[in-house]
Structure 1
Amino acid sequence: MSKAYFIGAGPGDPELLTVKGRRLLDSADVVIYAGSLVNPEILKGINAEVYNSASMTLDEITGIILKSVESGKKVARLHTGDTSFYSAISEQIEKLRELNIEYEVIPGVSSAMAGAAILGQELTIPETSQTVIFTRLEGKTPVPETEKLSKLAKHKATMVIFLSAGMIEKVKGELLQGYSENTPVVIIEKATWKEQKVVRGQLKDIVNLVKDSGIKKTALIYVGESLRASSESLGKESKLYHKDFKHGYRK
């Protein structure tokens, strides 16, 4: 049998697909992509059987993979962003293991990292925040009690919230359980796509910011004091480049 590759397609911009991802996609015999999320520009020029998984069930997807690899075809399963979170590859991988189908996971550029690049900053600022939380508001998929947004907010770390812009009132209410109403927020819709929107403000205004901009989904919500670094000088420096800091490469 051949092999299946789970490939992170990146946030949207075709140029942010990794070199390895591009090579495997171009050489694939069969491509199954998340049609509602993956930029179709990434598929231009490929010479393969192409399936849009937007309307498929898990069994239908794994059925195509099984039939293809049994025929000696290389399969590229293309997911948006990076495959390590909110990609739903875990249940697909379990099915492939049951069927003894060999697979490999190729990481991609997460929209969370692309968003930070759009803002022109890092998310960890010395003395301000050294922790970044990636999470989501509970929807159809349950969230463990210890990971409720209201409890995570009490850490006051930098937070990137996925899949929650459509429930923005609830997001605000839960975030206020930990953050102050003046905490900086940024909402980025369709990061790196041509249709990209970036909205900045404070937590107290987040509901109106989202509604007035027409943002409904495919958006990330960034929260935390570290976000001030994208628009002002915080004067916080790490020890890494300080003249008195000694390490193995600078003595």
Structure 2
Amino acid sequence: MAGKVIFIGGGPGDPELLTLKAYNIIKKADVIIYAGSLVNRDVLNSARDDCLIRNSASMNLDEILDLMETSVAEDKLVARVHTGDPAIYGAIGEQIEGLKSKNIDFDIIPGVSSFFAAAAALETELTLPEVSQTVIITRPEGRTPKPSKEAISKLAEHEATMCIFLGVHMIDDVVKDLLTHYTLETPVAVVQKASWPDEKIVKGTLEDIGVKVAESGIKKTAMIVVGDVLGTENITPSKLYDRKFTHEYRTAQ
């Protein structure tokens, strides 16, 4: 493992939601670079006392890559810890490109995304039979542009379950875009710091969620979950466990 960079999904916040593989790398790492503005510092509790730990919040891309390159040249194991799963808004693409250009070996360990932790906090299934079989993961456009075809107002046409990252600070604009297709009665939940000790949940509809979020004081580090899966009762059972349904492993009764 020495002389290598390992990208790690640090999970949504609860240290116990680290994968075992990620935990073991953090224990062994000589250098840890973590996204301190989002990653719960307790995720790094298993790090060695002599491990160099750097918060990347104050670093730019060149500084991060330089530290990786220097450390790997010294035959050290570098753990690059991102929040949730690094494939979702983790900004690892540019780091991977930089490592490849320097011929630096790397691996990626997936993690538990915050939208899964939010679903757990809400005690809901995001893909209920006959309600929604699609989950759209997106974010509103901010300082980071996005393709016009991916505007929330256009994605809303599907009326599927939607998990919206990085948008709670502009909740009123998000609601306006969603209302191009969803109804005012559509259930919405905002989960701040899902799985953290200070987790906060605000529930409402598209009609009142903006006011409720403003009253709650939530301004960042929150997931917006939209869709009828949040308000469904008398759930239609899946065919998987229906006693009248035959499949490869079971005969109908």
* Same fold? TM cut 0.5: yes
Question: Contact 1:35–1:54 at 8 Å: present in 2 too?
Answer: yes
Residues 1:248 and 2:248 aligned together: yes
Q: In structure 1, what residue type is equivalent to 2:40?
A: N
Residue in structure 1 matched with residue 198 of structure 2 by the alignment:
195
2:188 to 185, 189, 197: 185
Partner AA of 2:174 in structure 1: V
User: After the TM superposition, which residues 160-179 of structure 1 pair with which residues of structure 2 at under 5 Å, given as runs?
Assistant: 160-179=163-182
Structure-2 separation of matches of 1:235 and 1:64? 52
Give me the whole-angstrom Cα distance separating, in 1, the residues matched to 2:68 and 2:133: 41
Aligned counterpart, 2:41: 40
Q: Give the TM-score taking structure 2 as reference length.
A: 0.96
Gaps of 5+ in 2: none
Which string of whole-angstrom CA distances, capped at 9 and with x for unpartnered residues, describes residues 33-75 of structure 1?
Answer: 0011111111224111111100100000000000000100000
Structure 1: distance between partners of 2:199 and 2:235: 30
Partner of 2:195: helix, strand, or coil?
coil
1:114 to 104, 112, 117: 117
Partner of 2:155: 152
Map residues 1-251 of structure 1 onto 2, 5 A cutoff.
2-47=3-48, 48-229=51-232, 233-251=233-251
Following the alignment from structure 1 to structure 2, what is the Cα–Cα distance between the partners of residues 108 and 187?
A: 21
Deviation of residue 194 (structure 1)? Answer: 1.3
Bigger mean CA offset, 38-47 vs 154-163: 38-47
Which ranges of 4 or more aligned residues in structure 1 deviate by more than 4 Å?
A: none
Asked if 1 retains the 8 angstrom alpha-carbon contact of 2:8 and 2:82, the reply is yes
Identical amino acids, percent of aligned pairs: 53
Residue 84 of structure 1 deviates from its aligned partner by 1.4
- Secondary structure, in 3 states, of the residue corresponding to 1:154? helix
The 1:127/1:247 distance shift into structure 2, 3 A limit, reads: same
* Pairwise CA RMSD: 1.0
Answer whether contact 1:228 1:234 (CA < 8 A) is retained.
no
Structure 2 SS opposite 1:15: helix
TM-score normalised by structure 1 residue count: 0.97
236-245 or 204-213: which moved more? 236-245
2:13 partner letter: G
Contact 2:23/2:46 (8 A) holds in 1 = no
**Paired residue type of 2:45:** K
User: Is there any run of 5+ residues in structure 1 with no aligned partner, and where?
Assistant: none
- Given that residues 34 and 54 in structure 1 are in contact (C-alpha distance below 8 angstroms), is that contact kept between their aligned partners in structure 2? yes
Task: Kindly indicate whether the alpha-carbon contact (under 8 Å) linking 1:160 and 1:220 is maintained by their aligned counterparts in 2.
Answer: yes
SS of residue in 2 equivalent to 1:104: strand
The one-letter amino acid paired with 1:208 is: V
